[in-house]
Amino acid sequence: DAGGDVQDVVVIGGGPGGYVAAIKGAQLGMKVTCVEGRGTLGGTCLNVGCIPSKALLHASHLFHDANHTMAKHGITVGEVSIDVGKMMAQKSKSVEGLTKGIEGLFKKNKVTYVKGWGSLTSKPGEVSVAAADGTTVTINAKNVILATGSEPASLPGVDVDEKQVVTSTGALDLAEVPKRMVVIGGGVIGLELGSVWSRLGSAVTVVEFGKDICPPMDGQVRKTFQRALKKQGFDFKMQKKVTAAKKQKDGSILLTVEPSAGGEAEFLEADVVLVSTGRKPYTTNLGLADAGVEVNGKGQVVVDMHTYKTNKDGVYAIGDIVEGPMLAHKAEEEGISCVEQLAGKSGHVNYDVIPSIVYTHPEVAWCGKTEEELKAAGTEYNVGTFPFAANSRARTNDDSEGLVKFVSCKHTDKILGAHIVGPAAGELLAECVLAMEYGASTEDIARTCHGHPTLSEAVKEAALATGGKAIHF
Ligand code: FAD
């Protein structure tokens, strides 16, 4: 236990930002305690986010393949059915294994794990923890890192019950496949979870307020992506807003849908409605007001984005509760940089090179600037694309929808953006991210020998196309 000793660092929140900061801090020789209230470590990401969603995306992809793609390879599987309960059990097993794994990592690295809800008090360096059994523990710390993450944003007129009108948390735990699902919000979470249920048989309609899904995705990539989703059966209602949701006598939900700018309403029926209109920082009962920690209009804790210092000495904040993309890997990098600096070392997060990935099929992955952003900024650039239809591995897998695209500086060829829509886009992007972190040019990638036949050759060819011509297209 934290044992009354003054801790070098107390981290409040055991998500990817918090638990990574705790482990790294201990590795750097500091005495670290991590306070987490939900009963398991791993935060949103492991419990109700990245990990369970990818488990269901994988399972539903297998189902879809068995139903639709195996036959043409000569594999007959008979009638394919889905046992949603079993699929959920398998998902829970991977979540449990991974969250327990973090407890193991805490032990290995000598991080003290305190179960309970932590809050700052008016006394500097004091953290009060309310345990589940009603007791309160006080921990004293030289430094406190707030890493309490985020929660789903609500939508006026739409009351969530997590059974029929659900946030992502409920959509990861449905008991059966809904016949009709309406997804409110065409962002990453809505499209991933919409894909899960669409593959399993739901008719999915996406209602999106804006004119584009998933901003700031590169326009050319988005077009390919949205076309693919439409082919899979997604129905998009763009520039529309849901203003009310009412349960009907037959048990279904009736949604009132209006043009975003206002106008005549239409009505949509659904068996399950997923509200995925964004997330907001979670700082409930954290004692920010008592401690005098500054929060901005969006509810984010205000920090210096290099040191992660708040306006109060010894209080830091990282991850989803501060500005920037709400992503697990962004939270982790901030956690590492924050404790490195606390340990007297230098730490740095390069916000220009943070990957974004949509784990649908095809996947979409990008890093850096889009072509539209460069145009708007008046930057002179080269562009190169290569379609997976011309990549031998994608063709042998019969999975060749999509493309790789680079944008680079017209004068130096330094890579400014990498955009991929296609099979394994998220994994393929890693090479581009590394190149960008090293300040590489597309020529650097084009001159690097890539294994054959691999999907990664499409990355090389797109790099070749940026400076001149691809070989295979
Ligand atoms: P969190 O993970 O939210 O962790 C904060 C933790 O703090 C929670 O466990 C909470 O219980 C705890 N806590 C809060 N207040 C207190 C308190 N007072 N005392 C003690 N404990 C407290 N990101 C990706 O990068 N890739 C993905 O594929 C991806 N998929 C996602 C899918 C879904 C459905 C969702 C909802 C999110 C997804 N995300 C994904 C986003 C990702 O989950 C978050 O960006 C990430 O978890 C943020 O990490 P964090 O450490 O800042 O906060």
Nearest by Cα to 240 from 269, 274, 267, 202: 267
* Residue 132 φ then ψ, to 5°: -60, -30
Write down the pLDDT at residue 467.
Answer: 85
- Name the residue of 20, 50, 51 whose CB sits within 8 Å of the most ligand 1 atoms, as the mutation to test its pocket: 50
Half-sphere exposure of 261 (CA within 13 A, CB side): 1
Q: How far is the CA of 210 from the centre of ligand 1 (A)?
A: 25
pLDDT of residue 179: 98
What are the CA-CA distances from residue 426 to residues 45, 63, 432 (Å)? Answer: 17, 21, 10
**pLDDT truncated to tens, each residue of the chain (473 aa)?**
455 689 999 999 999 999 999 999 999 999 999 999 999 999 999 999 999 999 999 999 999 999 999 999 999 999 999 999 999 999 999 999 999 999 999 999 999 999 999 999 999 999 999 998 999 999 999 999 999 999 999 999 999 999 999 999 999 999 999 999 999 999 999 999 999 999 999 999 999 999 999 999 999 999 999 999 999 999 999 999 999 999 999 999 999 999 999 999 999 999 999 999 999 999 999 999 999 999 999 999 999 999 999 999 999 999 999 999 999 999 999 999 999 999 999 999 999 999 999 999 999 999 999 999 999 999 999 999 999 999 999 999 999 999 999 999 999 999 999 999 999 999 999 999 999 999 999 999 999 999 999 999 999 999 999 989 999 99
Find tokens 């060819």 and name the residue: 461
Q: What gap in Å lies between CA 75 and CA 59, rounded to an integer?
A: 18
**323 in a labelled binding site:** no
> How far is ligand 1, taken at its centre, from the CA of residue 439, in Å?
30
Which of 12, 45, 360 to probe ligand 1 with, by most ligand atoms within 8 A of CB? 45
Residue 148 CB–ligand 1 contact under 6 Å: yes
**361 in a known ligand binding site:** no
Q: Which DSSP letter does residue 101 get?
A: H
CA 80 to chain centroid: 31
Q: Which atom of ligand 1 is nearest to the CA of 329?
A: 25
Query: Ligand 1 centre from 43 Cα, in Å?
Result: 5
Any atom of ligand 1 within 6 Å of the Cβ of 147: yes
Please give the Cα distance from 470 to 116 (Å, whole number).
Answer: 57
For residue 327, the ligand 1 atom closest to its alpha carbon is: 45
Q: How many CA atoms lie within 13 A of 153 on its CB side?
A: 16
Q: Look up residue 302 and give its two tokens.
A: 């205000």
Question: Distance from the CA of 149 to the center of ligand 1, in angstroms?
Answer: 5
> Does the Cβ of 414 fall within 6 Å of ligand 1?
no
**Is residue 355 within 6 Å of ligand 1 at its C-beta?**
no
Which residue is closest in CA terms to ligand 1's atom 22? 13
For 364-384, b where at least 16 C-beta lie within 10 A, e where not — what string? bbbbbbbbbebeeeeeebbbb
pLDDT score for 232: 97
Residue 453 has a pLDDT of: 98
Q: Is 30 annotated as a binding residue?
A: no
Residue 283 marked in a binding site: no
Question: Which ligand 1 atom minimizes the distance to the CA of 38?
Answer: 11
The answer on whether 191 is annotated among ligand-binding residues is yes
Q: Which atom of ligand 1 is nearest to the CA of 152?
A: 36
Which residue in the list 68, 348, 452, 472 is annotated as catalytic? 452
Give pLDDT, residue 3: 52
- What is the chain's length? 473
Kindly report the protein residue whose alpha carbon is nearest to atom 27 of ligand 1: 50
Which atom of ligand 1 is nearest the CA belonging to 319?
Answer: 52
- In short, whether 185's Cβ falls inside 6 Å of ligand 1 is no
The preferred substitution site among 46, 139, 148 for testing ligand 1, maximizing ligand atoms within 8 Å of CB, is: 148
Q: Is 452 a catalytic residue?
A: yes
281 three-class SS? strand
Q: Residue 58 C-alpha to ligand 1 middle, in angstroms?
A: 21
In tens, the pLDDT along 358-372 reads 999 999 999 999 999
Residue 282 Cβ contacting ligand 1 at under 6 Å: yes
189 is in an annotated binding site: yes
Write the CB contacts of 364 (distance below 8 Å, at least 6 apart in sequence): 214, 217, 221, 225, 357, 358, 420, 421, 425
Is position 305 annotated in a ligand binding site?
Answer: no
Ligand 1 atom with least separation from CA of 17? 51
